[in-house]
């Protein structure tokens, strides 16, 4: 039966027999089908290779695959900023006031973070955060691809975090601002924010100058966000330019020390000191209290960042009397030897009565300044056109912006009226009904110190070679009149004057005390004052002008001659010594009790 079946099946050479394990023939395949299958498999291999080549090697040939290639690049290639080094701020002698130091910020991609309970606890510990707070922050940014975990860490602190090798955490290099002078120059220099941009003071005023330009580069990152290769520099960073301020840090320290001591002694609310170079108009020192530490702003109090010497207005009171004397001499009605009868020690103008401490009788112009006589000043003012008094104030820069470029600097307040009441004329003559900053007062006194020449005030160092640029100085008061008024102001420091505590042992001083009432909700307050002293030294050839303001002293002493004049004396004396200004008078010998002065000066 089997043989007959075999005989009936036709034999063919075009078939391939396929046997199974038992050796029984199951079926046969035609050769052309076999080779067609081999060809198909080979074609699939070639197609796969061409696909890979299209994705990685030949993108121009297979443009249809560029999308996938771009998607891959988007997950690995990044353009990162290169932070620019912020310019250094220095004092006039090159001492650093603000410098930048490299720091590291820890960043994360919340979508890639892989944190179990143990890793979360370790990360929180090294970031010095509570686990719960860190977890909440991460959850809040869960749908984002970037967040900061910590800003501006030192390199060792950052490495301690990165050593945890957590997927999705990476670093960003930045710069942090550091202020070597601390609170001594805080309100003037200002500070930057966490993004290294200026927020206060000169840091804000000259932010574009100091900041420079950020660069950029293309890098390759791994799945953990770490940079594994820098591929291309796109733009180079451009460091910021340096800035030299006009202040001398040595004088700044001296002024700050003396002001802080006075604030403590007299329990004052606030205070300011400004030291001005008469020859150049440069501010050599500008300090304020209360102050703050710009390197640690965690306990920053409201108002402490304010540069009161440039922003806070006050009614200067009697320190304006020398300028009223200028108006009197310019009128031709008065001369330095003119005598004014101040008896009986008070004078009524309208509904206002002006009082002296006692009946000074007849006083010449110098005596009126020395005693700070309200009656004498009022009698002079009554004979003058109020516009003439205001005109002198305006010419020396009061009621105008100082033009330093400092953010928030005040222009002050100088009234302008068509009709003046007598009481308004009198009060203006001794510094009420107007307002000025300590810097404006220093600038006005600098005109008296500089023989009537007004110069532009500068918070930046003025080049000795270039000097004051043309057009920034102007003769606004006659030189002879200024010399006469300076001579009158010397009497304020003499034994019979109100400013004896402003005297300097080896230099003659010219100046004026001031004590003004503070303004409250219901008008002038009887028991709250501002004590001031404004002066210059050496008196006959001034080099420095110093203004001291002690705001709201709460002790028994509040007069400007008691609270502000001693600060002037100490600060100005040290400043003149550091500037090598030669003494212009011989100090009086101090005798020890019981000693005998012998001939020849030995004792």
CA 583 to chain centre: 36
Strand blocks (E) in 67-131 = 77-82, 89-90, 96-108
How many Cβ atoms sit within 10 Å of the Cβ of residue 429? 27
In a domain, 302, yes or no: no
**Minimum mean pLDDT range among 203-212, 216-225, 406-415:** 216-225
- What tokens appear for 163 in the block? 């050593």
Closest CA to 235 of 345, 116, 83, 407: 83
Q: Which residue has the tokens 């009790």?
A: 593
Mean pLDDT, to the nearest integer, of 195-210?
94
Confidence of residue 471 (pLDDT cuts 50, 70, 90): low
Do strands 243-244 and 89-90 pair parallel, antiparallel, or not at all (unpaired)?
A: parallel
Across 128-132, 143-147, 323-327, the highest mean pLDDT is recorded for 323-327
With contact defined as beta carbons under 8 Å apart, do 197 and 210 qualify?
no
Q: Which residue has the tokens 């040939």?
A: 61
In a domain, 55, yes or no: yes
In a domain, 525, yes or no: yes
Mean pLDDT, to the nearest integer, of 51-72?
57
Same domain, 201 and 255: no
Which residues make beta-bridge pairs with 287? 273
How confident is the model over 231-268, as pLDDT tens digits? 667 777 788 999 999 999 999 999 999 999 999 999 99
Closest CA to 545 of 397, 362, 378: 397
In a domain, 352, yes or no: yes
With contact defined as beta carbons under 8 Å apart, do 277 and 443 qualify?
no
Same domain, 172 and 283: no
Separation CA 425–CA 445 (nearest Å): 21
CA 296 to chain centre: 15
Predicted local confidence at residue 583, as pLDDT: 87
Confidence of residue 465 (pLDDT cuts 50, 70, 90): low
- What tokens appear for 231 in the block? 């591929």
Could you give the number of structural domains in the chain? 3
Mean pLDDT, to the nearest integer, of 280-287?
97
Range of the domain at 194: 79-244
User: Residue 553 above 80 pLDDT?
Assistant: yes
Closest CA to 406 of 183, 186, 204, 191: 204
In a domain, 585, yes or no: no
Confidence of residue 37 (pLDDT cuts 50, 70, 90): confident
Strand blocks (E) in 117-264 = 147-153, 169-178, 191-192, 198-200, 215-221, 227-235, 243-244
Predicted local confidence at residue 469, as pLDDT: 59
Same domain, 496 and 361: yes
Same domain, 216 and 144: yes
Same domain, 349 and 485: yes
User: Residue 334 above 60 pLDDT?
Assistant: yes
- Of 70, 93, 121, the residue at which a domain comes to its end is 70
Is 66 in a helix, a strand, or coil? helix
CA distances from 451 to 100, 279, 402, 473, 483 (A): 43, 11, 20, 12, 7
Confidence of residue 1 (pLDDT cuts 50, 70, 90): very low
In a domain, 457, yes or no: yes
Do strands 473-475 and 215-221 pair parallel, antiparallel, or not at all (unpaired)?
A: unpaired
- Assign residue 452 the CATH number of its domain: 3.40.710.10
Same domain, 59 and 97: no
Q: Which helix (H) or strand (E) holds 286?
A: strand 283-289
Confidence of residue 592 (pLDDT cuts 50, 70, 90): very low
Separation CA 66–CA 348 (nearest Å): 94
How many Cβ atoms sit within 10 Å of the Cβ of residue 162? 16
- What tokens appear for 4 in the block? 């007959």
C-alpha angle with apex 558: 552 to 561, nearest 5 degrees? 125
Same domain, 413 and 269: yes
Confidence of residue 275 (pLDDT cuts 50, 70, 90): very high
- What tokens appear for 227 in the block? 């940079």
CA atoms within 13 A on the CB side of 432: 17
Q: Which residue has the tokens 């975990």?
A: 149
Same domain, 220 and 158: yes
Same domain, 529 and 449: yes
Mean pLDDT, to the nearest integer, of 176-201?
94
Confidence of residue 597 (pLDDT cuts 50, 70, 90): very low
Separation CA 341–CA 72 (nearest Å): 96
CA distances from 108 to 6, 70, 175, 219 (A): 79, 23, 19, 17
User: Residue 425 above 70 pLDDT?
Assistant: yes
- Assign residue 144 the CATH number of its domain: 3.90.1310.10
Predicted local confidence at residue 305, as pLDDT: 93
In a domain, 201, yes or no: yes
Is 447 in a helix, a strand, or coil? helix
Same domain, 263 and 373: yes
N- to C-terminal Cα separation, the chain? 160
Same domain, 209 and 128: yes
Write down the catalytic residue from 318, 372, 373, 484: 318
Q: Say whether 298 is catalytic.
A: no
Same domain, 271 and 231: no
In a domain, 13, yes or no: no
The mean pLDDT of the chain is 86
Confidence of residue 591 (pLDDT cuts 50, 70, 90): very low
């Amino acid at each position: 039966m089997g043989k007959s079946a075999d005989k009936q099946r036709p034999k063919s050479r075009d078939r391939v027999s396929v046997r199974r394990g038992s050796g029984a023939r199951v079926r046969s395949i035609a050769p052309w089908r076999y080779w067609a299958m081999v060809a198909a498999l080979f074609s699939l291999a070639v197609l796969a290779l061409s696909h890979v080549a299209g994705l990685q090697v030949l993108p121009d040939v297979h443009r249809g695959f560029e999308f996938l290639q771009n998607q891959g690049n988007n997950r690995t290639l990044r353009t990162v900023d290169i932070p620019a080094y912020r310019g250094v701020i220095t004092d006039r002698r090159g001492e650093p006031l603000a410098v930048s130091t490299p720091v590291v910020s820890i960043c994360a991609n919340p979508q890639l973070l892989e944190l179990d309970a143990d890793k979360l606890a370790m990360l929180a510990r090294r970031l010095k955060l509570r686990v719960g707070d860190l977890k909440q922050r991460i959850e809040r940014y869960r749908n984002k691809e970037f967040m900061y975990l910590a800003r501006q860490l030192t390199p060792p602190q950052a490495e301690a975090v990165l050593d945890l090798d957590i997927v999705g955490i990476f670093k960003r290099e930045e710069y942090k601002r550091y202020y070597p002078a601390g609170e001594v120059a805080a309100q003037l220099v200002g500070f930057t924010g966490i993004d290294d941009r200026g927020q206060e003071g000169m840091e804000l005023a000259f932010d574009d100058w100091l900041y420079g330009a950020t660069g950029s580069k293309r890098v390759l990152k791994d799945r953990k966000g770490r940079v594994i290769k820098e591929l291309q520099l796109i733009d180079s960073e451009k460091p910021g330019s340096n800035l030299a301020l006009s202040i001398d840090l040595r004088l700044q320290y001296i002024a700050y020390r003396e002001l802080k001591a006075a604030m403590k002694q007299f329990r004052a609310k606030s205070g300011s000191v400004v030291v001005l170079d008469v020859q150049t108009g440069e501010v050599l020192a500008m300090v304020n209290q209360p102050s703050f530490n710009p390197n640690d702003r965690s306990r920053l109090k409201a108002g402490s960042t304010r540069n009161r010497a440039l922003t806070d207005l006050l009614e200067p009171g009697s320190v304006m009397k020398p300028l009223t004397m200028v108006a009197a001499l310019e009128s031709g009605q008065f001369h330095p030897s003119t005598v004014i009868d101040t008896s009986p020690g008070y004078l009524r103008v309208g509904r206002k009565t002006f009082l002296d401490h006692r009946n000074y009788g007849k006083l010449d112009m110098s005596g009126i300044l020395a005693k700070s006589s309200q009656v004498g000043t009022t009698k002079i003012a009554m004979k003058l056109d109020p516009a003439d008094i205001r005109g002198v104030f305006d010419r020396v820069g009061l009621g105008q912006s100082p033009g330093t470029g400092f953010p928030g600097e005040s222009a002050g307040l100088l009234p302008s009226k068509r009709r003046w009441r007598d009481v308004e004329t009198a009060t203006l003559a001794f510094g009420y009904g107007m307002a000025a900053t300590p810097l404006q007062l220093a600038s006005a006194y600098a005109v008296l110190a500089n023989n009537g020449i007004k110069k532009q005030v500068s918070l930046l160092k003025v080049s000795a070679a270039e000097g004051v640029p043309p057009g920034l100085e102007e003769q606004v008061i006659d030189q002879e009149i200024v010399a006469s008024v300076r001579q009158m102001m010397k009497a304020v420091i003499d034994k019979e004057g109100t400013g004896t505590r402003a005297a300097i042992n080896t230099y003659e001083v010219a100046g004026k005390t001031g004590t003004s009432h503070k303004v409250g909700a219901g008008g002038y307050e009887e028991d709250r004052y501002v004590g001031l002293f404004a002066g210059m030294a050496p008196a006959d050839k001034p080099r420095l002008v110093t203004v001291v303001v002690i705001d709201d002293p709460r002790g028994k002493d509040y007069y400007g001659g008691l609270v502000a004049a001693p600060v002037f004396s100490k600060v100005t004396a040290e400043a003149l010594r550091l500037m090598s200004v030669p003494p212009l008078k011989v100090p009086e010998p101090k005798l020890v009790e019981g000693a005998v002065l012998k001939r020849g000066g030995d004792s």
